[in-house]
Structure 1
Amino acid sequence: MTITVPFKQIDVFTAVPFKGNPVAVVNFLETPEAEVTTQQLQSIAKWTNLSETTFLFAPSNKEYNYKLRIFTPAAELPFAGHPTIGSCRAYLEFTNQLNSGPQTILQECGVGIVPLKFDEEGKISFQAKKTEVEEISRETASDYAKALGIHAIEPPKLLQVGPAWVVYLVSNAEAVIDLNPDFNFLKQVSDKAGHTGVILAGSKNDGNSGEQYEMRAFYCPTISVLEDPVCGSGCVALLRYLQEIKNYQKTTLVNVTQGIRLCRDGHLRGRIEIDEKTSQISYHVGGDAVTVINGQISI
């Protein structure tokens, strides 16, 4: 039996089509998940050939809005940032809620329940579910630095945010943009360490505009993507890393740009939110998303 369902392609972290990071979103909200195999979902993701393709299903609990499964062309992921925002935009369109005003959406996925906010400006942000910091060995840090051809200004750390990102800071934004990694060696180091990849960031602060960074995200080649144009989970990792080394005492906004080397112009709004009463810290990433393709897909 052939199943035909709605399909969208959303450009994320941009308000200008073709300047952000695309995600394909397939709407199975009206299709029982048991009627679709993981192999079929993986085949669709391989066919779209984007960094991620997502699939909306009915949630396991009516308190949530939807369940999301996220696939690269090679494997399923527990969480990813730009697919989460793009899928939320698609969900609001599929269910005719774009004009319903600001609201909170609860996404069920591999890392649990991820809260998202659709604000009065039409931007979508998510609250990170998992932000654990781990040390990496001196040998691994040295190998990554050699593969990237960089000199870090702070010790790198491993950030578990769903994906496992190693975060490096360099002297400035220009050093980030000009970088030309040795991808073969980077693959060897990533494979050996079992990490998702590397986030590289450099400050572009002018002294007047708050925290601003240029960022690049280099994936482990085993998941078929060398560099992510604009990366939400990588931005979460950067925010958590900045809190680790700077120890902000109040809520701090961090604006991140990404994608210039890939002819993109991505803009991510980061927020390190510190509750004044409890001192609890949460990490939020958001931005614009725009639909570029509407259609159907059959399996």
Structure 2
Amino acid sequence: MSRHLPFKQVDVFTTVPYKGNPVAVINCMGIDESEVTKEQLQSVANWTNLSETTFLFKPTDGKSDYKLRIFTPVSELPFAGHPTVGSCKAFLEFTNQSESQETRTFHQQCGVGSVELTVSPGKISFKAAQTAIEELDDAVVAQYEAALGISTVAKPKLLRVGPNWVVLLTDDAQACYNANPDFAKLAEIDASHGHSGVILGGAKGDGEHSYEMRAFAPSLNVKEDPVCGSGALSFIRYLQELNGYSEPTEISISQGGRLGRNGQISGLIKTKSGTTTTYHIGGDAVTAIEGQILL
């Protein structure tokens, strides 16, 4: 049975509409998840043609505030960053919870388990624990460098954060911004190794821990993601691997300039007692479209 469900399109990692990364969010909390099929959800995601479309359902784990299912135009993801931030923003609005001055905690159930979110004035952030990081063969690194047309200043690594991102650090922010990838080659390399895509970063000269970042996922039909939360998570985890920060460290990331966007991502690395490290990615979000969608 088809029905019209509440729908929002939220622009993420920006305070200015149309300068961040949009996510389509459909509120399915008023129906049972068994009433819709994966094929139906995938059809909607294919139609919106955004990098991700999400569906809010009632939680089933007994501890979360909502369950989130995340789809690219071609497949379902266990987790993604900017959809997590944008969907939390939509959840607050769908449930008439105004953004107060006090900091509040919410939990999102998704394919990687329960994700903790912190909502504070001007920022929604999610917390991730230690994530898997793996070495890459030199031959694979050379393939990526050739496809990107860049050289790296540190050994690239594979980060498994839901999506499987290959993270590369190049000379500086300008080299990152100027990169002109061969998307066909990138898609071929990613597909042959089971990678989701590439995160490319370069340090800025205007301040400590400030970076330009880009995200490429042509094998997922997303040549360049304007502002990428899971990519930012992978990037700050990679920086921690390189630099071994022992004190809480804030990382500022800009993304999207080549696509006419101006995304701003806030990263935070926290290490407790030198053993437990958590990673936090956040930013602002603004609703650009509201209405109903047929499902």
TM more than 0.5: yes
Partner of 1:153 in structure 2?
153
8 Å Cα contact 1:130-1:162 kept in structure 2: no
Q: Where do 1:173-252 residues align within 5 Å?
A: 173-206=173-206, 209-219=207-217, 221-252=218-249
Q: Deviations over 1:59-97 (max 9, x none)?
A: 003421000000011000000000000000000000011
Contact kept, 8 Å, 1:253 with 1:272, in 2: the verdict is yes
Within the alignment, does 1:285 sit opposite 2:281 as a pair? Answer: yes
Distance in structure 2 (CA, Å) of the matches to 1:224 and 1:250: 38
CA distance in 1 between partners of 2:48 and 2:9 (Å): 10
- Cα distance change, pair 198–105 in 1 and its aligned pair in 2 (3 A): same
RMSD: 1.1
Q: Read off the aligned partner of 2:115 and give its amino acid letter.
A: V
Note if contact 2:129-2:277 (Cα within 8 Å) is conserved in structure 1.
no
Deviation at 1:182, TM superposition (A): 0.9
Amino acid aligned to 2:41: L
* Structure 2 residue identity aligned to 1:214: E
Measure the CA separation in 2 of the matches of 1:298 and 1:40: 10
Tell me if structure 2 keeps the 8 A contact 1:130–1:161.
no
Secondary structure of 2:222 counterpart = coil
Give the structure 2 partner of residue 118 of structure 1: 119
- Rounded to whole Å, the distance in 1 between the matches of 2:224 and 2:213 is 11
**The one of 257, 263, 269 aligned to 1:266:** 263
Task: List per-residue Cα deviations over 1:110-160 (Å, max 9, x = no partner).
Answer: 0101000001x2310001255111011111111001000111000101011
Relative distance call for 1:59 and 1:129 in structure 2 (3 A) is farther
Match of 1:70 in 2: 70
Partners in 2 of 1:278 and 1:189 — Cα distance? 36
Q: 1:99 to 1:203 in 2, by over 3 A?
A: closer
Instruction: Report whether the alignment pairs 1:298 with 2:294.
Output: yes
TM-aligned CA deviation for residue 186 of structure 1: 1.1
Shift of 1:278: 5.9
Task: Give the number of equivalent residue pairs.
Answer: 294
Give distance in 2, aligned partners of 1:282 and 1:205.
Answer: 26
Q: Which range is displaced more, 180-189 or 280-289?
A: 180-189
Unaligned runs of 5+ in 2: none
Does structure 1 conserve the Cα–Cα contact (< 8 Å) formed by 2:233 and 2:281?
yes
User: One-letter code of the match for 2:276?
Assistant: Q
> Cα distance 1:9–1:115, how it changes in 2: closer, same or farther (>3 A)?
same
Distance 2:208 2:108 in 1: 31
The residue number in structure 2 matching 1:162 is: 162
Q: Is the contact between residue 73 and residue 224 of structure 1 (CA under 8 Å) also seen in structure 2?
A: yes
For 2:105, the equivalent position in structure 1 comes to 104
Structure 1 residue aligned with 2:24: 24
TM-score where L is the length of structure 1: 0.96
TM-score (norm 2): 0.97
Provide the C-alpha distance between the structure 2 equivalents of 1:294 and 1:74, rounded to a whole number of angstroms: 24
Give SS of 1:226's match: strand
Q: Which amino acid aligns with 2:287?
A: T
Distance 1:278 1:148 in 2: 36
Task: Look up the equivalent residue of 1:232 and give its one-letter code.
Answer: G
Deviation readout 1:194-250 (Å, 9 max, x if unpaired): 1001100000043xx33100000011x231111100000000111110011111111
Q: Which amino acid aligns with 1:104?
A: T
Structure 1 pair 278–241 and aligned structure 2 pair: CA distance change class (3 A): closer
- Output the CA distance in 2 between the equivalents of 1:195 and 1:222: 9
User: After TM superposition, which residue ranges in structure 1, 4 or more long, deviate above 4 angstroms?
Assistant: none
What is the rounded CA distance, in whole Å, between the counterparts of 2:177 and 2:47 in structure 1?
A: 31
Q: Which residue of 1 is the match for residue 132 of structure 2? A: 132
